[in-house]
Structure 1
Amino acid sequence: MNPPASLALRTTLTPTTPVLRAAVASLWRPEGLRQRYPRYLAAMHTLVRASVPLLERTAARCAELEGPAARRLAAYCVRHAEEERGHDLWLLDDLAAAGARPDAVPHPFAVALAGAQYYRTEHEHPVTLLGYIAVLEGNAPGPRLADRLAATTGLPEGAFRTLRAHAELDGGHVDDLYHVLDELPLTPALRTAVSVSALHTANLLTRLFLSLAAADPGGQP
């Protein structure tokens, strides 16, 4: 008997965890953090502004398919789009509080993260989006991270709204995602597609964090 899809996905992602955590630790090291944090916000804005349109497009693709699995996935995407709506505006407020602006040229790894999901949704299967979301929301900021960054950077409290909100919200979101994943009657091929999407996301997210961690004060990697 196959294990639940959520357990299989968590197991698949286990080897990526130490590498991703090391990239996060490098990103949040104290040296130069005041300059890095606004660059992190700008990259997250590039990524998050794609979240709602991507979820809505995925729901629309589900409507083109037949069966209860497509309907269940579409309902999840519609619900989650409403949960994520406006978070890109939070990041604009955070950037303004930090004295910064969005990137004029989007960070290439942020573009690659979202862009890969558009491709998979259009040309593979919309369920692959669940692997993407599992990685992003499964690596949410910890509950005390905002306090530590505020103390280290000296930036105003208004620069950490999104970080605090996602530390509180994303744990529940990822539990919901895994519940939906276990409810879907996925073929072995679709389970594999979700895992491949998740592994690709973990790799690109690690590269994004390492790029931000290595950037000089002028913002160039």
Structure 2
Amino acid sequence: MTRPSASATLRVKLGLAAPALHAATAALWRHEPAGLRPRYVEYLSAMHALIRASVPLMERAARRCAELAPGDPVAGPLGRYLEKHAEDERGHDEWLLEDLAAAGADPEAALGRLPSPVVADLAGAQYYWIEHQHPVALLGYIRVLEGNAPAPWLADRLAARTGLPAAAFRTVREHAGLDAAHLADLDDLLDSLPLTAAQQVAVAVSALRTTDGITRLFTYLAAAPGGLS
């Protein structure tokens, strides 16, 4: 019997955690005339705090790959993927600041605000695993973020329900299109890497921990505007 691929195995594991994340996402975007608009602004601020860590995480993981190569057969192709993906993601945190400005919020306030402990947990766990386990763990984090992109219709629906201009939804709109292709590239990489059993566990633990963190983040955001202050 053919063993399932690494990407398929990970997809099954993530499926177990998907219902809670889907419920949190639905609660975040529920239609409340007085609440959805400020909640969306809070979402932009929280996502900026998270996304601005993405490129530095990938750059640090790529440097760790360079340190591990050539004795590590995973490090070389992983490092090349991370370097390319970091360039693909560069500047996306600026999109969120532009979205905040278009929504009538102050981007400087988002930059000066202490990020939520939930956001710090999400990014901080990745730094630990990159430094003290193996940079391949970061693929689990990326897999969850790419695999839970906004739906293609979400930007237009939010614009209609909040009354905010289309310019306030660039990040949501762009990621609805970009992340599907990125996810396919990541699945191909997972299936091509000569992962050890321990490395597969690291990727899965990272992915499940990230799913839990995103679920908690969306739950807090859904509770009330300003709930992360």
Q: Does 1:81 align with 2:86?
A: yes
Deviation at 1:2, TM superposition (A): 3.4
CA 1:212/1:179 → structure 2, altered by over 3 Å: closer, same or farther?
Answer: same
Whole-Å Cα distance in 1 between the matches of residues 30 and 137 of structure 2?
A: 33
Once the two structures are TM-superposed, the CA of residue 143 in structure 1 deviates from its matched residue by 0.3
- Once the two structures are TM-superposed, the CA of residue 110 in structure 1 deviates from its matched residue by 1.4
Task: Give the root-mean-square deviation of aligned CA atoms.
Answer: 1.2
- Is 1:59 the counterpart of 2:62 in the alignment? yes
Instruction: Report the alpha carbon displacement of residue 30 of structure 1 after superposing the two structures with TM.
Output: 1.1
Residues 1:167 and 2:161 are matched in the alignment: no
Query: Where does the alignment leave 5 or more consecutive residues of structure 1 unmatched?
Result: none
Length-normalised TM-score, structure 1:
0.96
Find the residue that maps to 2:161 and give its secondary structure: helix
- The residue identity in structure 2 corresponding to 1:205 is I
Contact 2:220 2:227 in 1 (8 A): no
SS at match of 1:142: coil
Moved more, 64-73 or 47-56: 64-73
1:67 Cα deviation after fit: 3.2
Aligned residue in 2 for 1:20: 21
TM-score by length of 2: 0.93
Identical amino acids, percent of aligned pairs: 62
Distance 2:226 2:126 in 1: 30
1 CA distance for matches of 2:43 and 2:55?
20
Q: Does 1:179 align with 2:188?
A: yes
Q: How far, CA to CA, are the matches of 1:172 and 1:108 in structure 2?
A: 30
- 1:218, distance to aligned residue in structure 2 (A): 4.2
Q: Distance in 2 between matches of 1:45 and 1:38?
A: 11
1:192 aligns with 2:201: yes
In 2, the alpha carbon distance for the partners of 1:162 and 1:34 equals: 16
Letter in 2 for 1:13: L
Q: Which 10-residue stretch deviates more, 94-103 or 41-50?
A: 94-103
Q: How many residues align?
A: 220
Query: Following the alignment from structure 1 to structure 2, what is the Cα–Cα distance between the partners of residues 68 and 105?
Result: 39
Counterpart of 1:107, as a letter, is: S
**1:68 pairs with one of 69, 73, 76:** 73
Deviation at 1:94, TM superposition (A): 0.3
Residue in 2 that maps onto 1:213? 222
Quote the Cα distance in structure 1 between the aligned partners of 2:56 and 2:157.
32
